[in-house]
Amino acid sequence: MLDIRVEGQTATARKTFNDKISLEDGGFQALNWQSVFFCTKEEGAWKISGFVGFLPFAPG
């Protein structure tokens, strides 16, 4: 996780993917995206309450 922000009983966490995978034809596929998780604290434990995935990510 690159970025976690907590405010009281809620939090957001951002996970980024900045890599590449090899393809059978010798090329590669870039993996440059991010996912955002929304969390709430329930009975002392953090739970994921929402998710937005595969958003563009431009490192740097």
Does the pLDDT at position 58 exceed 80? no
Question: Do 39 and 13 touch, CB atoms closer than 8 A?
Answer: yes
Residues 15-47: tens digit of each pLDDT: 988 899 999 999 999 889 999 999 999 999 999
HSE-up of residue 33 (Cα within 13 Å, Cβ side): 9
CA distances from 47 to 11, 19, 36, 40 (A): 10, 28, 14, 5
pTM for this predicted structure = 0.73
* Radius of gyration, CA atoms only, the chain: 15
